[in-house]
Chains A and B, each alone.
Chain A
Amino acid sequence: MRLINLSRNLALGLGLGFLMSASALAADSATARHHPKDAEFSFEGPFGTYDRAALQRGFQVYKEVCAACHGLQFIAFRNLADKGGPEFTEAQARALAAAVRVPAEPNEQGETVDEKGVPLTRPAVLSDKLPMPYPNENAARANNGGSLPPELSLMVKAREDGARYIYSLLTGYDEKPAAGFQTPIGMHYNPYFEGWAIGMPKPINENGVTYSDGTKATVEQQAHDVVTFLAWTAEPKMEDRKRMGFGVLIFLVTLAGLLFAAYRKVWKDAH
């Protein structure tokens, strides 16, 4: 009886929380974004982990396609070798860094530009963040018809239905505009985007990248891989978190069992 009571009370508490946090869904305007497509990801569920190969392929898609316009300001090259991430070897991460040139620190003379006024650069090292595509917001807008390509490290957590939303967006360019909808000039039709008109042209194309592991680079495959990669950039400690949570819950349930036994024993004669 006590247990039934308890579970009912816990369920009530949970239900209350769920109901009250049901946040406002998209406004019911005519061009509200479509419900995201169904897609399944390896990192979902209480035991889900990041598919390592997908992370590495996703990084390749990011590097060769997205990075031209979108930055990842919270990711350093060293993170690419982190446990729970793409898990490139340290040597691979070093090589990936070394292939990129970043602004150099002032040299012995205190100069940050050479004799011709060209900014000094050096190869990136593990501790460097991935390079940002534009020096500032104005430069980004000037290069993109006034639109600002957002920084992506947290995007999967910064949108309702994050992973599915981005997947749908990336694969949602080929649909015919609804009758009567006029896509503004310079914009692109995408019904998964709020307002249906997005500044970003279709970013991912069939065989746009060549995967070294032989995976066929369909649009869906690339989108799926890069979303997995972005899920990791948003929540790099997810595998640690779920693993620790499992241990913590086992401990707590055991402790609760022991305390319940003690509780029954202490109260045996009290009621």
Chain B
Amino acid sequence: MSGPSTYNPESGIAKWIDSRLPLPRLMHDTISTFPTPRNLNIWYIFGGILTFCLAVQIVTGIVLAMHYVASTNLAFNSVEAIMRDVNYGWLIRYVHANGASMFFLAVYIHMFRGLYYGSYKAPRELIWIIGVLIYLLMTATAFFGYVLPWGQMSFWGATVITNMFSAVPVVGQAIATWLWGDFAVGEATLNRFFSLHYLLPFIIAGVVGLHIWALHVPGNNNPLGIDVKSPQDTLPFHPYYTVKDAFYLVCFVILFAGFVFYAPNFLGHPDNYQPANPLVTPPEIVPEWYLLPFYAMLRAVPDKLLGVIVMVGAIITLVFIPWLDTSRVRSCRFRPLMKQFFWAFAVVCVILGYCGAQSVEATAFGIPLVWVARIATLYYFAYFWLIMPIVGLIETPKKLPASIAQSVLGDSAAKPAE
């Protein structure tokens, strides 16, 4: 679908540049004329939103780094100085802190979208796998970033997460010590986390480039999950999808601004407004909301090493789903059985998130949440490793429409004009 380039340089300068560095041609072909299925719905807006989120995090992050001091004695106070004495520092920090949450909100919807419409299936396997890599980099970046304010939750979160590596047999403790640069989370740890937190977003930006490159070879999947067959099935990206994405982006920014200006600490934890104290463990150590489902899995397993394996496995599993899904049909819209398992999966993820936020002994309706988390974890893995392969084989999909154009415009309009 990427097809031959339609760029036609007109001016002498444009021709001169095009024959030396065809950057305008690249922009023209990927943004302006790129043929995009005409039936993309609201769930397809998040690619653009995520690019926006990454840009916002990098820009605000660079400004924050101008004022932040990566030292255990000064980090907390430097963040407060940003909040109090830097011009609009409070705005920049709240945008950055809430921006992380918005970034994850968007990436989760983006991922569920891909799952529902089978966007990971051939020929888009690499787009999906690169996406999983981006998600992994995002979680690492978010984790490093959360440590930087050096509040109680920063410190203890860092302690819990880095201690997971000590679960590795024989060399575990050595790995943990190597990560810390010390025998506990401290000055050296904070400094390297700051360095990595500054580095990773640029790596993410590079990998996002690969993600989009890989996308522009087969082109977008679409809610019908059928291939583009004729030019009738597509619209040029500009102006159709630029205007649509712009509208929904602004709607998303309204939600974002709502948090930044009216509930800036709603998604945070009060304990992180207490300076880190290695001598006082908070009653509950909880990660940010977007990591809670994985945290619930970690705690659901009584054995430390197995818990870590399950948690890491939950993300690594995503790499294999292009081959775990045996269905011939991409979109769940035509998969009556899989659709039900999909929504159950979405609910299970929310339940896992809820379990991750509660204390270990908590119960709901008399049932210990740790058991709820165990069953939910089982479903999470079963969804990918059992349900996906089996349902794909036994399910009878509904009849697919003949083409995108026919589905959108009706039979008459879909006849090739002239």
Contact = CB atoms under 8 A, between A and B. Distances in A.
A252 B254 contact: yes
Contact of B271 (A9, A19, A158, A240): A158
Contacts of B248: 6
B408 interface: yes
A27 B261 contact: no
A249 B290 CA distance: 26
Interface of B: 38-39, 42, 77, 80, 83-84, 90-91, 94, 101, 105, 109, 235, 239-240, 243-244, 246-248, 250-251, 253-255, 257-258, 260-262, 264-267, 269-271, 273-274, 283-284, 286, 289-290, 292, 350, 353-354, 357-359, 361-362, 408-409
A154 to B, nearest CB: 4
A242 B262 contact: yes
B253 A263 contact: no
Given A24-B357, A157-B265, A270-B240, 12 more contacts: A17-B105, A20-B350, A21-B266, A21-B289, A21-B357, A23-B357, A74-B77, A159-B270, A236-B84, A242-B262, A252-B254, A259-B246
Contacts of A27: 283-284, 359, 361
Contact of B262 (A46, A158, A262): A46
Contact of A263 (B94, B244, B270, B408): B244
A266 B258 contact: no
B152 to A, nearest CB: 9
Residue among A5, A21, A242 having the largest count of chain B Cβ atoms under 10 Å: A21
A237 B84 contact: yes
A262 B243 contact: yes
Nearest to B255: A10
A166 to B, nearest CB: 12
13 contacts: A19-B353, A20-B292, A23-B284, A24-B357, A24-B358, A157-B273, A158-B274, A237-B83, A252-B253, A253-B254, A267-B244, A270-B38, A271-B408
Interface residues of A, number: 51
B100 to A, nearest CB: 12
B42 A9 contact: yes
A2 B269 CA distance: 35
Contact of B257 (A158, A234, A252): A252
Given A10-B255, A17-B105, A22-B354, A249 B286 contact: no
Interface in A10-31: 10, 13-14, 16-17, 19-24, 27-28
A152 B105 CA distance: 33
Contact of B247 (A21, A240, A263, A271): A263
A244 interface: yes
A16 B354 contact: no
A12 to B, nearest CB: 9
B269 A271 contact: no
Contact of B255 (A13, A22, A267): A13
B162 to A, nearest CB: 22
B247 A260 contact: yes
Given A245-B260, A252-B257, A270-B38, A19 B244 contact: no
A158 B270 contact: yes
A215 B244 CA distance: 57
10 tightest Cβ-Cβ pairs between the two chains A and B: A245-B261, A158-B273, A259-B247, A20-B353, A21-B289, A20-B289, A157-B273, A256-B250, A237-B90, A154-B273
Contacts of B270: 157-160, 162
Given A241-B261, A245-B261, A256 B267 contact: no
A105 to B, nearest CB: 21
Contacts of B94: 241
Residue among B239, B273, B353, B358 having the largest count of chain A Cβ atoms under 10 Å: B273
Contact of B274 (A74, A154, A259): A154
A255 interface: yes
Interface in A229-271: 234, 236-237, 240-242, 244-246, 248-249, 252-253, 255-256, 259-260, 262-263, 266-267, 270-271
